[in-house]
Amino acid sequence: MCTGRIDPQFVLKAFQSGADGVLILGCHPGDCHYKEGNYKALRRFHLLKRVVKQFGVDEGRLRLDWVSASEGEKFVEVITDMVATVKKLGPLTTAKEELRVG
Amino acid sequence: MQIRVGVYICKCGTNISENIDIDELIQFSSRLENVAYVKDQPLLCSEDGKNFLASDVAQEKPERVVIVACTPKEHEKTFRNTLLRADFNPYLFQMVNVREQVAWVTADKAAATEKAKAYIRAAVKRVTLHEPLEKKEIECNTDVLVIGAGPAGMEAALLLAKAGRKVYLVEKNSFVGGRVARYEEVFPKMECASCMLEPKMDEILHDENIELITSSEVVEVLGYLGNFSVKIKKRATCVDKEKCIGCGACYEPCPVSVRNEFDYHLSDRKAIHVPYTGALPNVPVLDQGHCLRFAKTDSAMVQEALDLGLITQEESENYKKQDCTACQEACMFDAITYDRQDEILERNIGCIIVAIGFELFDPSVLPQFGYGKIPEVYTGLEFERILSQTGPTGGKLFMKNGQEPRSLAIIHCVGSRDKKHKEYCSGVCCLYALKFARLAEKHAPGAKIYDIYADWCVPGKDNQEFLDSLKEKKNVYFIHTNLPLSVAVKQNKDSLSVSCVDVSGKENPLAADMVVLCPAIIPARDTSRLSEMLLITSGRDGFFAEGHTKLAPVSTNIEGVFIAGCCQGPKDIQGSVAQGAAAAGQVLSALVPGRKLELDVIIAEADENSCAGCMTCIGLCPYKAIMFDKEKKIAVVNTVLCKGCGTCVAACPSGCLTGKHFTEEQIFAEIEEVLK
């Protein structure tokens, strides 16, 4: 499995099921075990962000970042930062009904 | 419908149980829909733990298994194997990571327990949607294709042939030996290159397991480890190698004379020729590009020869298309036939070794060295030919005017270690520059030899001694300069002047009759073409990228494709031979006759009834594993090439692609349950 497998519907499903934020973490560009799945993920992510915004979901609730298996510190940093951002935004209440997928 | 799910909770010593309330997990899990039973164990990955799991699963006969333990990276394989012992399909199992993702990172026990519950709920729901997957094995072909018959390719081919493997050795030239065939002597022991090489070349020609395919190139590669099929284009040479005895009677009468590329245009050859005396196989080649019979139109052929610098304007007057049969008439063995066409040979193989060698950086890009403008400025490879007994001067060190030079400048690092050109050190230039100094000293006694260098790179056995021995020579002057080299070569009325600034800042004006440049070693021209064909990646400098710099130097990103020699990076002959041997070893253990190849089971699958034939997936697949069935107008996934990354599945607009074991339903269920 790879970030390339992330169907944008998965993210919408997560928001619809009650997630207040969705964080996608992948291997660094150039380090993909499946060669280029992370580039595909990046392309889809940019489009998805626009869609999510149109549903009234704040941009800060969706994030893509690159963390390799050896970057424990970065992992902690990204997670802490994401949690802080989402906490600041509070629970996602709007548009949950509209995000019906699957 | 009820599906019996068995849940096993591992305490991992106290790693998990210390931070998660196991009793609460058991109670929670037993209440979940479909869960038939929940059991806990102190350490499920221990021998006792595994034995318990195997016998319990055999006894309880659950339809699905969930193991609540550590990261699947660590023990998913362990538990899959254990479940197999109980005759349980290992893909009807899901692992929940409550150690790394919960116990070790969530400090509050109550919160950790809640988090673990959500994960278990998701896994139980997901696992009911799992399908049993069966491992497949395929037969494989153990024959090998080796591309390039230089030192690396020859070594690989010979070792494989000795192990009984059938080897197809494809060489683009008409001869074997690669660049080394052009050398007279090799550093540091000044061994005779042809004496060293010829026994190997001879073995290649006579080994029954090796099919040597010269004047050919690989034009298509399809397939995968164990099952490649390749197309090889063999240029028509018009000479029957079975009939030809290599007497050479055909060259003389040929009316066409062009520059010999083997000697880097420093000598002439006929349209029918062997590139050099002693070339193996000793069968001449009729070069259809220049033979008068094969000229497509007079002007096109002549223009091409003019463009390549193979003939002069004046000489071009002699080239008119005509029905010449001079060589055929001269041949006493009827070996020459003109109706030969280029052929496409098809071969099936299991592994590929790429050993296509290198080129030199074009020094005319750096005008200060005068290459291409000043006649007496040569590249290292051109100089090798001048020094060679089979070369344009018969091994005498002569300038173009037929005289012996009285002074010679050798310039290192031309284009290498230069941020604007090639940043890397080519690794072998210092040593061959020293070899040139030694040979020049021998061939033109008393001549002054200037060695203009920036740093010495002479690692390895005997090489430092080689450098030291030259430092003792009276006529060899070493000039130490800074990088990038501040050297300028100028043509004066009857001699060359070389001016260079040394490390002390002093300008040294030198007079030199000849200048030899040591240009950077760069990837062979075919590198990018083969890289695309074989899907293997290249690094920043354009050389093929190895699997791992230290631990997998001859592997590539494609299973079953290996690299050896200078196409992987600049190196000396000994390094190339070592890599050739290494690649042969890799092939021998990758495919073993009589052993089947196990395939990935977690792959994509296309449903032919719902595929709309949009081809979105085809361009996305990084392994070229999806083909388009033109008749049915649908996508078809090759189950052997697919590595299961899922990129196509995520992109399929009609939802006809399924990522096995990571289906949309399974992932949706997981997301829903974890967030409930």
Domains, chain B, ranges and CATH? Answer: 5-133 (3.40.50), 144-235+343-355+524-590 (3.50.50.60), 358-522 (3.50.50.60), 600-660 (3.30.70.20)
Confidence of residue B320 (pLDDT cuts 50, 70, 90): low
Percent of chain B scored above 70 by pLDDT? 98
Residue-level pLDDT at B343: 94
Give B107's contacts in chain A (Cβ within 8 Å).
none
Instruction: Find the range with the poorest average confidence among B107-111, B322-326, B327-331.
Output: B322-326
Going from the C-alpha of A13 to that of each of A6, A52, B311, the distances in angstroms are: 12, 11, 71
**B483 falls in which pLDDT band (50, 70, 90)?**
confident
What is chain B's mean pLDDT, rounded? Answer: 93
% of chain A with per-residue pLDDT over 90: 71
What was the pLDDT predicted at B296? 58
Contact in structure between B368 and B376 (CB atoms under 8 Å): no
Among residues B220, B191, B215, B205, which one has the least CA distance to residue B154? B205
Residue of A nearest to B547 (CA): A33
Compare A32 and B126 and report the one with higher pLDDT: B126
Q: Tell me how far apart the alpha carbons of residues B576 and B151 are, in angstroms, rounded to a whole number.
A: 6
Q: What is the per-residue burial (b if ≥16 Cβ within 10 Å, else e) of A64-78?
A: bbbbeeeeeeeeeeb
Suggest the residue from B645, B648, B654 to mutate for an interface test with chain A (most A CBs closer than 10 A). Answer: B645
DSSP A60: G
Amino acid at B271: A
Question: What tokens were used for B280?
Answer: 């193996």
Rounded to whole angstroms, the Cα distance separating B398 from B487 reads: 24
pLDDT of residue B667: 97
pLDDT at residue B249 in the model: 94
Encode A78-89 in three state secondary structure: HHHHHHHHHHHH
- Read off the pLDDT band of B550 (50, 70, 90): confident
Sort out which chain A residues have CB atoms less than 8 A from B558's CB and list them: none
Q: What is the DSSP string of B126-162?
A: HHHT-------EE-----EEEE--SHHHHHHHHHHHH
Which of the two residues, B304 and B341, has the higher pLDDT score?
B341
DSSP for residue B493: S
Cβ contact, residue pair A40, B647, below 8 Å: yes
Closest CA to B260 of B548, B415, B251, B675: B251
Residue carrying structure tokens 């906490």 = A87
**In this predicted structure, which of A52-66, B183-197, B353-367, B535-549 has the lowest mean pLDDT?**
B535-549
**Considering the entire predicted model, what is its pTM?**
0.76
Residue B571 has pLDDT above 50, yes or no: yes
CB B292 within 8 A of CB B271: yes
pLDDT on residue A3: 94
**Interface A-B: count of C-beta contacts within 8 A:** 65
| Interface touch B645/A13, C-beta < 8 Å | no
Report the candidate in B355, B343, B351 with the shortest Cα–Cα distance to residue B166: B351
Q: What pLDDT does B178 receive?
A: 96
Instruction: Taking residues A2-10, report their average pLDDT.
Output: 94
Q: How far is CA B676 from the centre of its chain?
A: 50
Burial of B108 (0-12, 13-18, 19+ CB in 10 A): exposed
- As a whole number of angstroms, the distance between CA B429 and CA B433 comes to 6
Place of tokens 């010269």: B214
CB-based contact (8 Å) between A48 and chain B?
Answer: no
- Amino acid at position B282, single letter: N
Which comes out higher in pLDDT, residue B117 or B136?
B117
- Quick one: which of B94, B35, B32 has its CA closest to B67? B94
pLDDT of residue A99: 61
Segment B578-594 mean pLDDT: 96
List residues bridging with B358 in a β-sheet.
B523
Q: Do B623 and A17 touch (CB under 8 A)?
A: no
Residues B236, B70: Cα–Cα separation, whole Å: 63
Residue with tokens 């494809």: B170
pLDDT tens, B234-273? 998 899 999 999 999 999 999 988 999 999 999 999 999 9
What is the distance in angstroms between the Cα of A31 and the nearest Cα belonging to chain B?
Answer: 12
* Distances B376 to B382, B513, B543 between C-alpha atoms, Å: 11, 7, 31
A4: closest CA of chain B, how far (Å): 4
pLDDT at A102: 46
pLDDT at B303 over 80: no
Q: What percent of chain B has pLDDT over 90?
A: 84
Distance, in Å, from the CA atom of B550 to the CA atom of B542, rounded to the nearest integer, reads 19
Confidence of residue B298 (pLDDT cuts 50, 70, 90): low
- Inter-residue contact B67 to B49 (CB < 8 Å): no
Long-range contacts of B293-298 (CB under 8 A, 24+ apart): B293/B321, B293/B322, B293/B323, B293/B324, B293/B325, B293/B338, B295/B319, B295/B321, B297/B321
Q: What is the mean pLDDT of residues B217-241?
A: 93
CA distance B449 to B438: 9
B:421-480 residues touching chain A, CB 8 A cutoff: none
**Residue B631 identity:** E
Per the listing, tokens 């060259």 go with: B251
Which residues partner with B5 through β-bridges? B35, B64
Candidate ranges A91-95, B66-70, B507-511; pick with highest mean pLDDT:
B66-70
Which ipTM did the prediction report?
A: 0.91
Backbone angles phi, psi at B588, to 5 degrees: -60, -35
